Structure 1
Amino acid sequence: MAPGRRGRIARRTAIIVAVIVLSLFMEVSGFLATPEEFRPEVAYVTMHAIVPLVYAACAGVAWSLGPNPVPARMMVAFVALWIPTTFFQVVEGIGWLWPLLYGAHLLWAIVPILLPVVYPRGQLSAPIDRWLVGIILGISVVFFLGAVLLVGEPADPTFCACVPNPYQVADAPGIFALIDNGYRMIGAAVALVIAARLLVGWVRGSIPARAVAFLMPVALFAWTATLAALVVTYAAETNADKVLITVSLVALASIPVSFVAGVAHTRNMRARVADLMRITREGADRGLWAESLARTLRDASVRVYWWDEEKGRYADAAGTPIEDADADPRGSHSILPVASPLGAPIALIRHDRVLTDNARLLDGVSSALRLSVDNGRLRSEIERTLEQVRQSRQRIVEAGVEARRRIERDLHDGAQQHLVSLGMRLRLAANEARDTDEVQLATELEGTIQMLNMALRELRELAHGIHPSLLSSGGLSLAVPELAGRCPVPVEVDVQAEGRLPELIESTAYFVLSEALANVAKHSGASRAWVRAYVEDGDLELVVRDNGTGGASLDKGTGMLGVADRVDAVGGTLEVDSPSGAGTTLTVRIPLDGQLAEA
């Protein structure tokens, strides 16, 4: 955790703890200072003390959820302003203090009225909200000034035996009663208007709007309804029903809970953007992306319009261009443009207007879409590059095969023919020398002929190793048995490849088997080996098995690596099963792409 963040958390925790201590001090000290015959019931005091604790706890949660700190500060202010009337028994002898507290003891009502107004972004949006806030703040200032300047020594002993008010400028109880009742009635009316607006908006709203609004309208409406009833009983100077007071306190405490629950819900919606990231791994499949986005935002009206560079317009996955009504900023929907880091247009996302309150959610959606498009582009580029590399490797292999064939043909048609002609001439010369009794010359020529035959045999073996002529003339069915016959380890051969295979496949298969049998002879310590070649499901499968010591691995030696490189060059796969002491099985599968060469 960063030092700055730790400092902010410590300061906020200290503030919350301080206001909780202050609230509990006022509650407990006021209860103890009140004479027993005037004390309220313990259950009421407990419920009254729980309300600010709920606001304090919700302030901590709201601060952690953020990003706007205003709602959390308002909840902290509520705790400090939640002044129980019994507390005036504690400060009744402090003349400069109790009038100020009396003027502020109802200001807590501003918080539960304004919290729904700034929900969920922590700021005002509509002009009517600003008017309502102005009314609340205006009447609160009037009440505070009226209480400080017009209230004298309270006559009700259950309130306090307070000393005279040093700030009093006039003895006008009637005027203050009018201000007092007017403050309560106007405040209740404004709260009812706000609750009605939220409730109507929630009922008429779309699914995203209802999800974002959550429980706030119900909580606020329950509190304002009981508040209005309490205002009426206060104006009539009658005692309020205990059940009504309890319901009012419970509803009042539910307002911050609803607030943080709704904010947490929007935060969880941002977390669900992670579901979109799973799609980005495969790139932006346009139809699937739009469906997943609608499911993530819980907004069936979501539409995604992609930028068509060729036609210079936005269109959905089906190619239908965006309509003017969809792009109308005055409608019930908003448009979220998504562009690349360089400013090139990517898409437009039409969504429910209520989601504009969740800026971080929309930022996450934009980032996910950009990442999806980038992943798709990079994936296409990588696949194109890999295909180019594969084709390049295949061309190199084909060129190598052609070069081998050309060298073998040149050796056969050139050097071998010259050596054969030279051998025939030497044979004629040896015969002529023997006929003329030049025995020594004939003997030397015979020795030269033997050396020439050895060189010719080695040259033929070299040409055969470069490219066997049997493979060109008869395919694997002729070349593999001949190859196995030259292995010092007895090999059982089963070749079932019918007809001729593509030339590159045959050449690759032959040299894979050649290197595999060379490894058997050099490293396996086997007394017997088996070779099988057959075509199955469009693949040529080669299996080389021996009864040697096992322990072979692609990580050991260059023989296996040579086999792996040859197989990989034609898009094949290689499997090695070589448990220690149980022999080695080499399995190679080479795709034929459905194209078999004619015999």
Structure 2
Amino acid sequence: MRPRGKWFVVAAAVLAGVGAAAALVRGGYEVPVELVAPTLVLNLAVGWSFVGVGLVARRRRPASRTGLLMVLLGFAWLARFLLAVDTTPAFVAGVLLGSVSLSLFVHLLVTFPTGRTTSVAQRVLVVVGYLLSAPLDAVFLALGAQRGRGEGPPPNGLVIAPSNGGFTPEPVDLVVQAVVVVLLVALLVSVWSRWRAAGVAERRALTPGLVGGTVVVATLLVERTAILLVLPPSAGVVLAWSAQVVLVVWPVALLLGLLRSRLDRSGVGRLVIDLGDGPAEPGRLRSVVARTLHDPSAEVAYRLPGTDDYVDAAGDPVDVAPRAGRAVAHLVRDGRPIAVLLHDPVLTGEPDLVEAVAAGAGLAVENERLHAQVRHQLREVRASRARLVEAADGARRAVERDLHDGAQQRLVAVGLALRLARTRLGAGSPDELDALLAEAGDELAGALAELRELARGIYPPLLTDEGLGPALASLAERASLPVVLGAIPGQRPPEAVEQACYFVVSEALTNAAKHASASRVAVDVVAEGDGLRVDVVDDGGGGADADGSGLRGLADRVAAVGGRFAVSSPARGGTRVTATLPCG
């Protein structure tokens, strides 16, 4: 709200209070002198407290409707004094506007602190609350209800005083009070359910308003129940005064909640001191931030340089995508994102507190991010070392199996053929010897071909002799599915990078043929900055597991030369394997 608008509301509230006092004193009803001052003091305190705290809430949380609702409630409360003017229009306006204050109270308590309904039960309570105010009163007024208008103090309980000879409410009033009691009970149940379902941080934000509002509701509930029970006038007076006295509690409770937020921000200084004491233990920053925000579920995730991946203090990957029940605040240093703060969504209502905590923890976040990066790298190195050992053992077993099942069997057959030829050297015919020697030659040729194929799989000679282009062209020709080979840089990269590039394409083609049910694969190797970017894209079914042994082995190979490896494989969207390899 703009300053001019704020002062306009303040002036209007002052004028409404002055008008209320004038109506009470000069409105035409006989009010006992001893009741004028208490009535004015109490009612002005209620009305002005709601308006004042509402303006503060509006300034503190402009996105929330709570402040606006409080201001409206304050004016509706002061508008009740139209009942003190002894005319029919004033009586009608006073009844209609005065009853709205209870509906606004229900709306505020049900939707605190956002002022917006978030469930069907809340919407029902708010709608019923409004239907029981002006619309219902309009029906009763049209039917001729007078609500105690006539001799004595102003009607409708504006001035709380015992009636002479007691007061017996009309049946229609008893029905209305019974419905109001049911509404108040439902309101208490709603408040209790919200508080039980809330987390620690949300409870901290809700408690001041809900506790104060619960006290008011409980007092109103007792007062309206007393009306239904037709208690003696003296008891009704005490309960009526009590209901209005405790109504002042709620704005004060909300104001205390606002002051608590300021105290929380002042606790950021303690956060800086706590982070400066003692060694940087993993997770210590998270615990200090969680304590400062009063949110035990708060987490800090650190961005790995050059990637969009985040890890916690121990180096474990963290999913920072927005999800239900979690809000994300990005921490930026020198214009670059370094971490994110995951916290309870209720803290989005206190952006200044979150920003203050983020700023206070900035240096510690940078330091712990570096530690987390090192821990993540150590974990990756250990895991990569284990995978390399496992891959090497698997490769040795595969070579042994290939030699045993292929070349070894052929060489055994050659030995048998040669021994058989030797035994028949003197007795056998030349044709028979020629056939045996021919068979031995064929087996030797087959064994040699298999050994060459095996050697090509371990390390292709064509890659060493001719370079990456011819080696990838040979891969494309031997592939079991069509391969479209894009442009290949003419200048040969370093040997380690060239080998990594070759095996990335080889493994990706093998996966596409075996698992992707692809009909076409495109391979591109392009220069990018001081390195190469390898893209292998198929049109298969997608859903590739980036943590599978084959792709994980490729990631280790790429990481070994300082590169980055990524796999994108949405369901039914094909698979893209990308490796960025530095050549410097």
TM-score by length of 2: 0.50
Distance 1:352 1:67 in 2: 20
Find the residue that maps to 2:339 and give its secondary structure.
Answer: strand
Determine whether 1:350 maps to 2:342. yes
Determine whether 1:315 maps to 2:311. yes
CA shift for structure 1 position 252: 1.1
1:365-376 aligned within 5 A? 365=357
CA shift for structure 1 position 297: 0.5
Distance 1:341 1:34 in 2: 70
CA shift for structure 1 position 159: 6.2
**Distance change (3 Å), C-alpha of 1:306 and 1:232:** same
CA shift for structure 1 position 70: 3.8
Other-structure match for 1:91: 85
1:445-456 aligned within 5 A? none
CA RMSD of aligned residues (A): 4.3
Determine whether 1:12 maps to 2:6. no
Determine whether 1:248 maps to 2:234. no
Determine whether 1:221 maps to 2:214. yes
Determine whether 1:73 maps to 2:65. no
Determine whether 1:261 maps to 2:244. no
Say whether the 8 Å CA contact 1:273–1:368 is kept in structure 2.
Answer: yes
Distance 2:125 2:112 in 1: 14
Distance 1:274 1:227 in 2: 43
Say whether the 8 Å CA contact 1:143–1:180 is kept in structure 2.
Answer: no
Distance 2:309 2:135 in 1: 58
Distance 1:299 1:196 in 2: 25
Determine whether 1:24 maps to 2:53. no
Other-structure match for 2:57: 62
Distance 1:185 1:359 in 2: 43
1:49-448 aligned within 5 A? 49-68=44-63, 70-82=65-77, 88=83, 90-92=84-86, 94-151=87-144, 157-158=150-151, 180-202=173-195, 205-238=198-231, 239=233, 240-273=235-268, 287-309=283-305, 313-322=309-318, 329-330=323-324, 333-338=325-330, 340=332, 346-365=338-357
Pick one of 34, 39, 57 that aligns with 2:30.
34
Find the residue that maps to 1:301 and give its secondary structure.
Answer: coil
CA shift for structure 1 position 254: 0.7
Find the residue that maps to 1:300 and give its secondary structure.
Answer: coil
**Distance change (3 Å), C-alpha of 1:124 and 1:343:** farther
**Distance change (3 Å), C-alpha of 1:308 and 1:143:** same
- Gaps (5+ residues) in structure 1? 163-175, 379-599
Say whether the 8 Å CA contact 1:71–1:122 is kept in structure 2.
Answer: yes
Identity %: 21
Say whether the 8 Å CA contact 1:103–1:145 is kept in structure 2.
Answer: yes
Distance 1:354 1:72 in 2: 17
CA shift for structure 1 position 161: 9.8
CA shift for structure 1 position 77: 2.7
Say whether the 8 Å CA contact 1:306–1:315 is kept in structure 2.
Answer: yes
Other-structure match for 1:416: none
**Distance change (3 Å), C-alpha of 1:241 and 1:280:** same
Distance 2:31 2:329 in 1: 67
**Distance change (3 Å), C-alpha of 1:215 and 1:6:** closer
**Distance change (3 Å), C-alpha of 1:52 and 1:352:** same
Distance 1:8 1:69 in 2: 17
Distance 1:364 1:125 in 2: 29
Amino acid at match of 2:4: G
CA shift for structure 1 position 231: 1.8
Q: Deviations over 1:324-354 (max 9, x none)?
A: 7x97834xx5141526489965334332343
Q: Deviations over 1:382-415 (max 9, x none)?
A: xxxxxxxxxxxxxxxxxxxxxxxxxxxxxxxxxx
Other-structure match for 1:412: none
**Distance change (3 Å), C-alpha of 1:199 and 1:262:** farther
Aligned residues: 353
TM-score by length of 1: 0.49
**Distance change (3 Å), C-alpha of 1:271 and 1:124:** farther
Which range moved further: 207-216 or 193-202? 193-202
Say whether the 8 Å CA contact 1:154–1:160 is kept in structure 2.
Answer: no
CA shift for structure 1 position 213: 1.9
Distance 1:77 1:197 in 2: 23
Other-structure match for 2:387: none
Say whether the 8 Å CA contact 2:275–2:364 is kept in structure 1.
Answer: yes
Say whether the 8 Å CA contact 1:304–1:348 is kept in structure 2.
Answer: yes
Distance 2:259 2:358 in 1: 21
**Distance change (3 Å), C-alpha of 1:121 and 1:375:** farther
CA shift for structure 1 position 304: 1.3
Find the residue that maps to 2:113 and give its secondary structure.
Answer: coil
Find the residue that maps to 1:241 and give its secondary structure.
Answer: helix
Distance 1:23 1:67 in 2: 29
CA shift for structure 1 position 363: 4.5
Distance 1:66 1:18 in 2: 26
Find the residue that maps to 2:326 and give its secondary structure.
Answer: strand
Distance 2:196 2:88 in 1: 51
**Distance change (3 Å), C-alpha of 1:159 and 1:203:** farther
Find the residue that maps to 1:34 and give its secondary structure.
Answer: coil
- Gaps (5+ residues) in structure 2? 156-168, 371-584
CA shift for structure 1 position 49: 4.3
Amino acid at match of 2:77: W
Q: Deviations over 1:421-460 (max 9, x none)?
A: xxxxxxxxxxxxxxxxxxxxxxxxxxxxxxxxxxxxxxxx
Amino acid at match of 1:10: W
Distance 1:243 1:80 in 2: 25
**Distance change (3 Å), C-alpha of 1:224 and 1:373:** closer
Say whether the 8 Å CA contact 1:120–1:259 is kept in structure 2.
Answer: no
CA shift for structure 1 position 306: 1.4
Distance 2:10 2:79 in 1: 24
**Distance change (3 Å), C-alpha of 1:155 and 1:61:** closer
Amino acid at match of 2:251: P
CA shift for structure 1 position 11: 2.2
Amino acid at match of 2:236: D
**Distance change (3 Å), C-alpha of 1:18 and 1:278:** farther
Find the residue that maps to 1:329 and give its secondary structure.
Answer: coil
Other-structure match for 1:504: none
Distance 2:20 2:256 in 1: 24
CA shift for structure 1 position 259: 1.8
Amino acid at match of 1:306: Y
Distance 2:181 2:37 in 1: 28
Find the residue that maps to 1:62 and give its secondary structure.
Answer: helix
Find the residue that maps to 1:97 and give its secondary structure.
Answer: helix
Other-structure match for 2:488: none
Amino acid at match of 1:350: L
CA shift for structure 1 position 187: 3.9
**Distance change (3 Å), C-alpha of 1:6 and 1:374:** farther
Q: Deviations over 1:91-139 (max 9, x none)?
A: 32x3333223223222211232222233223444444323322221223
Amino acid at match of 1:47: L
Distance 2:316 2:254 in 1: 40
Find the residue that maps to 1:346 and give its secondary structure.
Answer: strand
**Distance change (3 Å), C-alpha of 1:10 and 1:277:** farther
